[in-house]
Amino acid sequence: MTRLTRAVRALVTALATVLAMTGASASARAGADTGAPKEFVALSAVDPTIIQEMRYFTPHNFVGRRVDGYEQPICILTRPAARALHKAQLTLLRKGYTLKVYDCYRPQRAVNHFVRWAEDLGDQATKGEFYPNVDKTRLFEDGYIAEKSGHSRGSTMDLTIVKLPARPTRPYHPGEPLVPCFAPKRDRFPDNSVDMGTGFDCFDTLAHTLDPRIQGAQRANRLLLKSTLESAGFVNLAEEWWHYTYQPEPYPDTYFDFPVSWKSLTAAD
């Protein structure tokens, strides 16, 4: 999630309004009605061995419910990003690990849902797990939420590493007790990921990839993910150990809005 100050956030909002008035906002919502360009693919069609745990299709995320635009639990990426991820997967399989993705392409309508949630200061239902040490009024200033996300361009994903053989994990049940995302792994919600020091989507500086407080096996696990993905052409977002973007991006300036569904992948055929 790109870091934005309140002033920059206001500027982005104003600019978006101007673009909409001039008809130039099409690139910000490309594919909303026509489906995905043919350059987008289902990750499972490129590499079915990569585990998919699509968190925003479930209620186990910081919003606390299924996020707008996630109609099916599938990972969609641009073809170059999916092929590069397959390359990284082959490297990890030889070492006894597999990749697991939490999120891939993210429609703009989902990002808008995040923004609405962040602006609703009365909704603190997930604070105990995802942002226990952060005041919700600071989610924009601290860079955890923004009006645009690189995920909407199709070449960014959130992912981790799982030791093989992968142990199945139980589903989250809304209303169950929440545990801080930076608690010891044994105390957090079950996740067959190797221990990365925090859970996915942990709004805390401990989630910074190279935070010096993360040492030992946790740091080694982060570095294994980082080195493997960088060798395949990905770049990490320093504030989130799970966030990687394939470069060069096929659509560096286009934010798509087609839903996450199989139908989106066939609509343009």
Percent of the chain as helix, strand, coil, to the nearest 5: 35, 15, 50
DSSP reduced 3-state for 250: coil
Closest C-alpha to 32, from 262, 260, 249: 260
Whether 158 has a binding-site annotation, put simply, is yes
159 to each of 32, 119, 126, 135, 269, how far by Cα in Å? 25, 27, 21, 26, 29
Burial code of 25-41, b = ≥16 C-beta within 10 A, e = fewer? beebbbbbeebbbeebb
The encoded tokens of residue 200 equal 């996915």
**Beta-carbon contacts of residue 47 (< 8 Å; ≥ 6 apart):** 82, 85, 86, 89
Q: Is 151 annotated as a binding-site member?
A: yes
Q: Cα(12)–Cα(59) distance, rounded to whole angstroms?
A: 29
- Does 240 qualify as catalytic in the annotation? yes
User: How far, in Å, CA of 90 to CA of 58, rounded?
Assistant: 28
How many Å apart are CA 265 and CA 252, to the nearest integer? 20
Annotation-wise, does 173 bind a ligand?
no
What SS3 state is found at 139? Answer: coil
Selecting among 71, 239, 240, 249, the annotated active-site residue is 240
Q: At 222, is the secondary structure helix, strand, or coil?
A: helix
Nearest to 1 by CA among 264, 183, 242, 177: 242
Q: DSSP letter at 51?
A: E
- List, by residue number, the catalytic residues: 240
Binding-site residues for Zn(2+) sit at: 151, 158, 243
